[in-house]
Amino acid sequence: MILPPSTLIQIAAAGGGLTIDLNRMVVAPSTLIQIAAASAKSGATLIIKNPNFLAPSIMIQISAASRGKVIFEL
């Protein structure tokens, strides 16, 4: 199922954990940061699979926004 970015942010904000596989879904880095921030506020866990195409600086921004609620599956 493909959901729009705004829905992913709403799910995370509502406390729903998400697993996003970047090999199966294209999500802009800025959207990942927003999802991470929403996860931090709600306490939801965000798992990002296959972050191969994310620059390390983006991964750091996502990590900072998530406040410990993100897991990168390398």
pLDDT digits (tens, 9 = 90+) for 9-60: 999 999 999 999 999 999 999 999 999 999 999 999 999 999 999 999 999 9
CA separation (Å) from 65 to 1, 2, 22, 24? 26, 24, 19, 23
pTM of the model: 0.95
Give the long-range contacts of residues 57-60, CB within 8 A, separation 24 or more. Answer: 58/29, 58/32, 58/33
- Structural domain count, the chain: 1
**Residue 57, token pair as written in the block:** 């600086």
**Residue 30, token pair as written in the block:** 């800025």
At what angle are helices 29-42 and 56-66 packed, to 10 degrees?
A: 20
Q: Residue 59 belongs to what domain range?
A: 5-73
Is 57:32 a contact under the CB 8 Å cutoff? no
